[in-house]
Chains A and B, each alone.
Chain A
Amino acid sequence: MGTLRLRRPFSLSAWVWLLLGAAYFMIPLLATFLFSIKDKHTGSCCSLSAYGVIVHDHQFWTTIKLSFILSLETIAASLLLFVPTVYWVHLKLPRLRAVVGFLALIPFVVPPIILVVGLLDFYRGSPRWFYGQPYGFLVAAYVILAFPYVYFSLDSGFRAIDVHTLTEASLNLGASWPRTLLSVILPNIRVAALSGAFLTLAIVMGEFTIATLSAFHTFPTYIQYINETQAYPAAAVSLMSFGITWAAMLSILLVGRRPGARQVQIAGTR
């Protein structure tokens, strides 16, 4: 059977708006790139020395590794905490959805500086392995910071599937609650969970206020340090952070994808 292809008419105004939108985002990146390839002695084009400075700085590798591990830890903690919570709210306590939604907005309205002061005070008496380590204190703060992003991503994922029927069908076939969550629910909200994970990664890789005020040296604080001390490498590291964050997001996407996953999510959306 032949396929019918409908060709949309060429729309000049649509292209103009598309190019304007692209320019808004691309021009600063291009300007940063052009600045980053200037020679640090002559200020003329073109040299990759600024990138060399960054790549050979062990602080770059240490901080980026730390931030990346913090991101993964935050993602894991957030999903472990919020997937069962949002599932239970949708299944058993639908009236609480509005309350949880409101709570999820709080990290938006409380500035990070207020948050960190409060958290530093709140956790002051906690063990050193938690309070003195980025893997403890910072992750606890980042889970709060990521709460709205993870919650609203998951909420939309759960709303797209018939949680009640799928759960009851699974229980009816003899599955336990954990098995139902892992085998039936989780695969059908995978895209939503991945969206939450992307946003969390982006937030943690760029979070500066909490890290600085709690005296931890993460990737954003390194960028700030370079920015204050070296002009061309600062542009280079900014671009590199941009690329690295995107690459990390892409890797999560690839890890989280399975054959048929795209079709599966569409099927689950009703």
Chain B
Amino acid sequence: MPHVELRELRRSFGEFEALKGINVSLEAGEFLSLLGPSGCGKTTALRLVAGFDRPTSGQVVVDGKDVSSVPPNRRDMGMVFQAYSLFPNMTAEKNVEYGLRIRKQGRGERRKKVEELLELVGLGHAGKRYPHQLSGGMQQRVALARALAIEPRVLLLDEPLSALDAKVRVQLREEIRRIQTQLGITTIYVTHDQEEALSISDHVAVMYGGRIEQVGTPAEMYGAPATPFVAEFIGTMNRLEATVADSGAVEHGGVRLRVDAAQGRSRGERVLVLVRPEVVEVEAAANGAPDGALAGEVVSHTFLGSVTRIKVAAEAGEVTADVSTARAETLPVGARVTARFPAESARLLSLAQAPAPPAADPDGP
């Protein structure tokens, strides 16, 4: 039996449907990320699980019991908020102790637990400080300790790192995962940052327009996106509109490309060829393009450290390729090049499957 289940969960605000019937389940100790752009319904879903909002229909089931109508203060769910939520009138210790006082735990027991938890989040020395004396990262660590203190049935994290700078964000997300694994606590993590979701989750549920597009392991989400939206949202993806030419090949902008996934598809079917930039091979063009390669001109370089992202303007559209930075120097902007990819590395989606998604907004709530 799953530990937590969201069954056909719907939430409408007047005419607007924020959640259009989502289904997802978590096993005990699992770390699930709800990933999506702003307005996709991920925070709404988390608030329904926390009990801050009631679903229009559907159920939140924990350990087989429907808790949809249980008030938030009786759900035993620890939450870390996006905004800094420490009580400003209490020290870090008192913040962590708050939930334990409500549960009327003995003083000795409370103190021991507070000390343990502050040590766990690496703030054993900062217990006497008030929130305004702590950095943003430290405040979120205390908030995590506070949420864990009540030994919640489920830990809910609502974009807890979004207000922090990049370095602290990476550091803290690793700590969240370490602590979660150590305590074996079932966790739902909401984020719009795909790198964050892929790096710390057991499973990722990508949401878009109030629905779950796909649930899977990070590797599945990256390697086998089920919809154009997931393909676009997780990592960078080349999307080439094409027509199935014959078994194992498609035609894109008048160029015949070998794609293993085209086998078994009917000739003339309109498809979307999905290719990751890291599998695209770019070479300086000698005389025209060889068979199965797209000819074009390098239009931009984006330095990403060990690799450089190159954009090639081909006749039928743009192709993005990640090449080593050293090699990128031999392919300057304006150079005539050819781009190709291994036949087995491309995925195909029927063009009728979904419309092109909008660009994700990384700054959204």
Interface of A with B (CB < 8 Å)? 161-162, 165-166, 168-176, 179, 183-184, 187-188, 260, 263-268, 270
Contacts and interface: CB of A to CB of B under 8 A. Distances in A.
13 contacts: A166-B87, A168-B79, A169-B86, A171-B71, A171-B72, A173-B78, A173-B150, A174-B73, A175-B73, A179-B102, A183-B98, A184-B89, A188-B89
A91 to B, nearest CB: 11
Contacts of A179: 102
A176 B89 CA distance: 18
A50 B82 CA distance: 64
B102 A165 contact: no
Interface string B80-91: 010111111100
Interface in B60-76: 71-74, 76
Give 4 nearest A-B pairs by CB, closest first: A267-B132, A173-B99, A268-B88, A187-B89
B81 A169 contact: yes
B188 to A, nearest CB: 14
A267 B150 contact: no
A53 B130 CA distance: 52
A174 B74 contact: yes
Contacts of A187: 87, 89
B81 A176 contact: no
B52 A168 contact: yes
Nearest to A266: B132
B85 to A, nearest CB: 4
Contact of A176 (B73, B86, B87): B73
Contacts of B103: 174
A199 to B, nearest CB: 23
A171 B81 CA distance: 13
Nearest to A172: B79
Interface string B325-347: 00000000000000000000000
A118 to B, nearest CB: 41
Given A176-B73, A267-B131, A168 B89 contact: no
Interface string B2-41: 0000000000000000000000000000000000000000
A101 B351 CA distance: 55
Contacts of B110: none
B89 A264 contact: yes
Given A162-B83, A267-B132, A172 B89 contact: no
Q: Which of B72, B73, B78, B89 has the most CB of A within 10 A?
A: B89
A166 B98 contact: no
B89 A268 contact: yes
A261 to B, nearest CB: 8
B102 A188 contact: no
Contacts, number: 83
B312 interface: no
Contacts of A188: 87-89
B304 to A, nearest CB: 35
B146 interface: yes
B91 to A, nearest CB: 8
Contacts of B89: 184, 187-188, 260, 264, 268
B348 to A, nearest CB: 45
Contacts of B76: 174
Interface in B107-142: 130-133
Contacts of B257: none
A175 B88 contact: no
Contacts of A162: 83-85
A112 B146 CA distance: 51
Contacts of A171: 52, 71-73
A169 B73 CA distance: 10
A41 B143 CA distance: 72
B78 A172 contact: yes
A177 B68 CA distance: 19
A173 B85 contact: no
B172 interface: no
A164 B88 CA distance: 14
A269 to B, nearest CB: 8
B87 A169 contact: yes
Contacts of A260: 89, 130
A264 B130 contact: yes
B73 A264 contact: no
A162 to B, nearest CB: 6
Contact of B77 (A172, A175, A176): A172
Contact of B85 (A165, A176, A264, A267): A165
Contacts of A268: 88-89
A165 B132 contact: no
Nearest to A169: B85
Interface string B257-293: 0000000000000000000000000000000000000
B181 to A, nearest CB: 23
Nearest to A263: B130
Contacts of B74: 174
B200 interface: no
A187 B131 CA distance: 14
Given A173-B99, A174-B103, A263 B73 contact: no
Nearest to A187: B89
Contacts of A165: 81, 83-85
A173 B142 CA distance: 14
